[in-house]
């Protein structure tokens, strides 16, 4: 399973991708102090696929941003592969995919994928993936020279996934990457993402609003409650990998959805 939490048996050293200990985040605004996260304890094992689910404003994006070292926690510690989150970021251990693909409109698909090789001091040659191979992996072979405006929303998101994988990150953080897509495209990309995850062996932490997506993708679903954002419960999804969309018709899947829905009602 992807997650261990306090109370589980101790996790062996060297097997942990993400470790949050007592993480709290407060934002000071004109309207007062907002506690976005409170006392978050979480362990994600290497190679795991964990989905984060919870009501709007419960701190899902904030949690991802702490792990990515975009936000410093107000209290507690975040480590990634036994390093501080900022060391992991500098070491290019982390890839990030957002809801908006945010491609540069004047650059070709191939040049967008290669962008991380050029910015922020670049990536050591031995750590850079082959951009053409990555485009094949995300199903965009033959589109290397196209410009972003020639692509559909789903294709643009595939480009952003290939771009996030160019540094061969050991951890991929995904913040509602398919939230703006139609259901059929989303289903297809869900299956493809699982294939990419299995092929690359990367650890994935994935934020979604969709119960179905959370249960289909995650080995574990972590539910957060709001105001203040805190861990409500971890639910293990007892479906084997590789998963197929047809598994969503099984009693195991339906039961998992019912359980998630019940918990969400109290978040």
Ligand X SMILES: Nc1ncnc2c1ncn2[C@@H]1O[C@H](COP(=O)(O)OP(=O)(O)OP(=O)(O)O)[C@@H](O)[C@H]1O
Contact stretch for ligand X (CB under 6 A) within 29-37, 148-156, 164-172, 238-246: 29-37
Contact stretch for ligand X (CB under 6 A) within 56-64, 74-82, 103-111, 241-249: 56-64
Which of helix, strand or coil describes residue 70?
A: coil
Residues in CB range of 123: below 8 A, 6 or more apart: 92, 116, 117, 166, 167
Q: Which of 11, 21, 34, 191 binds ligand X (CB under 6 A)?
A: 34
Bond prior to 168 in cis (omega within 30° of 0): no
Q: How far is the CB of 225 from ligand X (least distance, A)?
A: 10
Contact present, 194 and 241 (Cβ < 8 Å)? yes
Q: Considering the complex, state which of residue 194 and residue 222 has its C-beta at the smaller distance from ligand X.
A: 222
Q: Considering the complex, state which of residue 135 and residue 223 has its C-beta at the smaller distance from ligand X.
A: 223
Q: What is the β-pairing status of strands 3-4 and 32-45?
A: antiparallel
Q: Which of 9, 12, 56, 262 binds ligand X (CB under 6 A)?
A: 56
Q: Considering the complex, state which of residue 78 and residue 135 has its C-beta at the smaller distance from ligand X.
A: 78
Instruction: State which of positions 226-255 bind ligand X (CB under 6 A).
Output: 229
Q: How far is the CB of 39 from ligand X (least distance, A)?
A: 15
Degrees, nearest 5: CA angle 130-172-131: 15
Residue-wise burial string across 27-45, b where 16 or more C-beta atoms lie within 10 A, e elsewhere: eeeeeeebbbbbbbbbbbb
Contact present, 151 and 142 (Cβ < 8 Å)? no
Q: Considering the complex, state which of residue 24 and residue 48 has its C-beta at the smaller distance from ligand X.
A: 24
Q: Does 200 bind ligand X (CB under 6 A)?
A: no
The candidate with the shortest Cα–Cα distance to 263, out of 229, 213, 224, 230, is 224
Q: What does the DSSP assignment read for 245-261?
A: GGGGGSHHHHHHHHHHH
Q: How far is the CB of 142 from ligand X (least distance, A)?
A: 35
**Residue 218 and residue 49: Cα distance in Å, rounded?**
5
Contacts with ligand X by CB under 6 A: the residue count is 13
Q: Considering the complex, state which of residue 47 and residue 57 has its C-beta at the smaller distance from ligand X.
A: 57
Q: Which of 16, 17, 18, 36 binds ligand X (CB under 6 A)?
A: 36
Tokens 């539910």: give the residue. 223
Q: Considering the complex, state which of residue 10 and residue 28 has its C-beta at the smaller distance from ligand X.
A: 28
Q: Does 27 bind ligand X (CB under 6 A)?
A: yes
Tokens 């290939």: give the residue. 162
Q: How far is the CB of 26 from ligand X (least distance, A)?
A: 9
Instruction: State which of positions 58-77 bind ligand X (CB under 6 A).
Output: 58-62
**Residue 120 and residue 102: Cα distance in Å, rounded?**
17
Q: Considering the complex, state which of residue 206 and residue 253 has its C-beta at the smaller distance from ligand X.
A: 206
Q: Which of 7, 12, 14, 29 binds ligand X (CB under 6 A)?
A: 29
Which of helix, strand or coil describes residue 30?
A: coil
Q: Considering the complex, state which of residue 61 and residue 108 has its C-beta at the smaller distance from ligand X.
A: 61
Chain contacts with ligand X (rule: CB under 6 A): 27, 29, 34, 36, 54, 56-62, 229
């Amino acid at each position: 399973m992807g997650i261990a939490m306090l109370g589980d048996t101790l996790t062996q050293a060297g097997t942990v991708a993400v470790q949050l200990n007592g993480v709290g985040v407060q934002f000071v605004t004109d309207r007062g102090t907002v506690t976005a996260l409170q006392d978050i304890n979480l362990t994600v094992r290497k190679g795991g696929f964990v989905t984060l689910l919870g009501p709007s404003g419960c701190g899902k994006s904030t949690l991802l941003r702490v792990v990515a070292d975009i936000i410093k926690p107000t209290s507690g510690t975040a480590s990634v592969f036994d390093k501080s989150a900022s060391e992991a970021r500098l070491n290019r251990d982390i890839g990030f995919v957002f809801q908006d693909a945010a491609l540069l409109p004047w650059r070709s698909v191939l040049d967008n994928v290669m962008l991380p090789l050029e910015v922020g001091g670049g990536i050591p040659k031995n750590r850079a993936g082959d951009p053409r191979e990555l485009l094949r992996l995300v199903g965009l072979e033959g589109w290397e020279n196209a410009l972003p405006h020639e692509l559909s929303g789903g294709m643009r998101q595939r480009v952003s996934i290939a771009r996030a994988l160019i540094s061969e990150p050991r951890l991929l953080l995904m913040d509602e990457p398919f939230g703006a897509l139609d259901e059929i495209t989303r289903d297809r990309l869900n299956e493809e993402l699982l294939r990419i995850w299995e092929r690359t062996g990367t650890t994935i932490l994935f934020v979604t609003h969709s119960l179905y997506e959370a249960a289909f993708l995650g080995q574990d679903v972590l539910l957060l409650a709001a105001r203040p954002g805190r861990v409500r419960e971890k639910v293990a999804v007892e479906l084997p990998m590789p998963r197929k969309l047809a598994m969503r018709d099984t009693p195991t899947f339906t039961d998992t959805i019912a359980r998630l829905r019940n918990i969400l009602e109290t978040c």
